[in-house]
Amino acid sequence: MGTQKDLPTVLLIDDDMVSREVMATMLTMGGFTTHTAESGSDSLAMLDDGACTPGVILMDTQMPGLSGSALVRELRVRTKAPLYAISASNAPTDILEGTDGFLMKPFGPEELQGALEKRNKGPERSPLTEAPVINTATLGQLRSVMPESGVREIFAAVTTDLEKRLTLIETAIARGDSAEVKRLGHAIKGGCSMAGAMQAARVGQLLESRGDDLEYSRSLLAHLRAASENLKRILEAELSPKE
């Protein structure tokens, strides 16, 4: 841990008193100056009246009143501080996509510092930039041995399978089952590689090789969704039935 002057001021938003006070105490003992708010509305009031100028915000994902994506939007209007979702269970997709990271309760100052250090290094390069949506050589081979309708059926099956496996991976991450994340990543890598769906195969490879890091695996879900959507666009544009 760094010295206290190196650490950002934390605004912790959590409606549960016990969770809020325990986390605040741990963060304070870890060197963070910590302010707390028991609701989304209270946090906005603190920002509006200058009671707190946070360097990072921790926001519980489920609270009465102003919460979720609506609270994220209001916080973004008022501050440029990094915003981390916190929860004892898996966070909704819209929250994960709208925030800068996720911390699973219980967590301590070391986990927060690690998340901030990782963010300060800059985002990792998207795995989607490392591979084409479809391997043209594989596509050509498929077209040489089957009609176009058969090729369409293969890629339609791939996108359907990806949607199912996405749900299974989310469930595995929520229950902390890294072995299942790696198994599903292996299956995606193998099946998509055979079909030539290279972006999805690359994400599957990362899920298999780094599945023990559940936070990183969670970040890969957005990339896997994007790979699936890219594949659907190819399916509609390049492999759609010709009139």
The whole-number average pLDDT for the span 207-215 is 89
pLDDT at 92: 80
Q: What is the pLDDT of residues 54-108, one digit of tens each?
A: 999 999 998 999 999 999 999 999 999 999 999 888 778 788 888 888 888 888 8
DSSP 190-242: HHHHHHT-HHHHHHHHHHHHSTT-HHHHHHHHHHHHHHHHHHHHHHHHTSSPP
- The CATH number of whichever domain residue 193 belongs to comes to 1.20.120.160
Q: Which two tokens stand for residue 61?
A: 């994902």
Answer yes or no: are the C-beta atoms of 25 and 52 closer than 8 Å: no
pLDDT at 96: 81
User: The whole model's pTM is what?
Assistant: 0.52
Which residue range(s) make up the domain with 43? 4-120
Domain membership flag for residue 243: no
Residue 6 binned pLDDT confidence (cut-offs 50, 70, 90): confident
* C-alpha distances out from residue 38 to 44, 50, 80, 135, Å: 11, 17, 21, 51
CA distance 59 to 74: 12
pLDDT at 1: 42
Collect all residues with Cβ–Cβ distance below 8 Å to 42 and sequence separation of at least 6: 13
Residue 77 neighbours by CB distance under 10 Å: 9
pLDDT at 36: 96
Q: Do residues 101 and 155 share a domain?
A: no
Answer yes or no: are the C-beta atoms of 16 and 60 closer than 8 Å: yes
Q: What is the pLDDT of residues 115-139, one digit of tens each?
A: 887 776 555 567 777 788 999 898 8
Q: Do residues 115 and 9 share a domain?
A: yes
pLDDT at 243: 46
* C-alpha distances out from residue 97 to 16, 91, 170, Å: 24, 10, 14
CA distance 21 to 227: 41
pLDDT at 78: 94
pLDDT at 2: 41
Last residue of a domain, one of 52, 87, 120: 120
Q: What is the pLDDT of residues 20-36, one digit of tens each?
A: 999 999 899 988 999 99
> What Rg, from alpha-carbon coordinates, does the chain have?
21
- The CATH number of whichever domain residue 76 belongs to comes to 3.40.50.2300
Task: Please give the tally of structural domains in the chain.
Answer: 2
pLDDT at 4: 46
CA distance between the termini of the chain: 64
Tell me the percentage of the chain whose pLDDT exceeds 90. 54
pLDDT at 79: 93
Answer yes or no: are the C-beta atoms of 37 and 83 closer than 8 Å: no
* C-alpha distances out from residue 127 to 91, 221, 239, Å: 23, 11, 24
Q: When comparing pLDDT for 242 and 156, which is higher?
A: 156
Q: Do residues 101 and 17 share a domain?
A: yes
Closest CA to 134 of 27, 62, 30, 238: 238
Last residue of a domain, one of 120, 137, 162: 120
pLDDT at 127: 75
Q: Do residues 47 and 66 share a domain?
A: yes
DSSP conformation class of 38 = S
Residue 111 binned pLDDT confidence (cut-offs 50, 70, 90): confident
Mean pLDDT rounded to a whole number for the chain: 87
Domain membership flag for residue 190: yes
Q: What is the pLDDT of residues 161-208, one digit of tens each?
A: 999 999 999 999 989 999 999 999 999 999 999 999 999 999 999 999
Q: Do residues 81 and 146 share a domain?
A: no
